[in-house]
A and B are shown apart, each in its own frame.
Chain A
Amino acid sequence: MNQSSQGERDDDVSLFNRTYEQYHRPLYAYLLARAGEATAADLLQDTFLHVWRHINSLRQVPDDRHRFWLFSLAGNVLTDHYRRNAVRQRHEPSPMASDEEYRGPGATAAETDSRLDMDAAIARLPEGLRVIVVMRYLGEMNSDEIGDALGMPAGTVRYRLAQARKQLSTYLAEVKQATTGVAKGARPNSTARTDVEDTRRGGSSVAW
């Protein structure tokens, strides 16, 4: 291999590494929100494999369009994934199979319940809201960045984020109320209660 092609290879690797460092967390958040934690890492690898194989295309994309280009690519990887598996709405919930597995070292039962509640609450959100919440908190992106990535105005992102937070608050309040009611011997007879319990056992038709 001559010096010229070795230099091109070094440039490619350098561009890839910069891109990976800047975007792998936001892309992972996006993929986790849409496909679930079990497959998000594999899909992230597929996405960056496409990036690597199209590194010359990325070089020609203006810097301020990199984010949109990458998230569009990730969207295509997801579409391929759905097509292969035909499980878009039938994903396993995120790995929270049992309290024992989920409870971290030193965590109390109440803390574990709280973690399960938040997992279930996020899993219950409609995909359009869940993606934004997860990109915001797991991807550590602001509204402008999420808007750039998804091709929507930042104002729309903020509106959806507010909607998502409202739904999360409502759901968590329902769980808290149901739990308190059981502790006091109240009969758990509301449909909300049944819904909450089903979701915490991973039994609802959540989309991840």
Chain B
Amino acid sequence: MLGNRERSTTSEFGDELDRALTAWADRHRLPAARAEAIRSAVLAASPVPGALSYQWWIELFEGTAQALQLLAASPSGPWVAALSVQA
């Protein structure tokens, strides 16, 4: 609410204007859902312009780890043979 110094200007022009301005402000606030959407969108963005996002790197690391695990668990024959054919 208004501080003491602000209150002096309020009384000069009346509380009615103050109430009207407060009502105006209530109608123009940023909705909470929009504010939260903005916060989330910014945090999901890359911390460096032009760089890949944090989430992209996480997914890459997870995908690579899964691929390595699958590779390590699979029999060596097929992919060694595939490499030999390409060579």
Interface size on A, residues (CB 8 A): 45
Pick the contact of B38 from A44, A118, A162 — CB < 8 Å?
A: A44
The binding surface of chain B is classed by DSSP as: helix
Bin the interface of chain B by size.
35 or more
The binding surface of chain A is classed by DSSP as: helix
Which of A10-18, A60-68, A77-85, A181-189 participates in binding chain B? A10-18
A161 to B42, CA, bound (A): 33
A9 to B35, CA, bound (A): 22
Q: Are B39 and A48 in contact (CB under 8 A)?
A: yes
Which B9-26 residues have a C-beta within 8 angstroms of A? Answer: 9-10, 12-14, 17, 20-25
Pick the contact of B29 from A44, A136, A138 — CB < 8 Å?
A: A138
Q: Are B9 and A114 in contact (CB under 8 A)?
A: no
A102 to B34, CA, bound (A): 20
- Given A24-B30, A44-B30, A138-B28, A49–B42 Cβ distance below 8 Å? yes
Given contacts A53-B48, A143-B6, A166-B13, 15 further A-B contacts (CB under 8 A): A1-B58, A9-B54, A25-B29, A44-B30, A49-B42, A52-B42, A52-B47, A53-B49, A119-B24, A134-B25, A143-B3, A161-B9, A162-B9, A162-B12, A172-B20
Residues of B within 8 A of A (CB): 2-3, 5-6, 9-10, 12-14, 17, 20-25, 27-30, 34-35, 38-39, 41-43, 45-49, 54, 57-58, 61
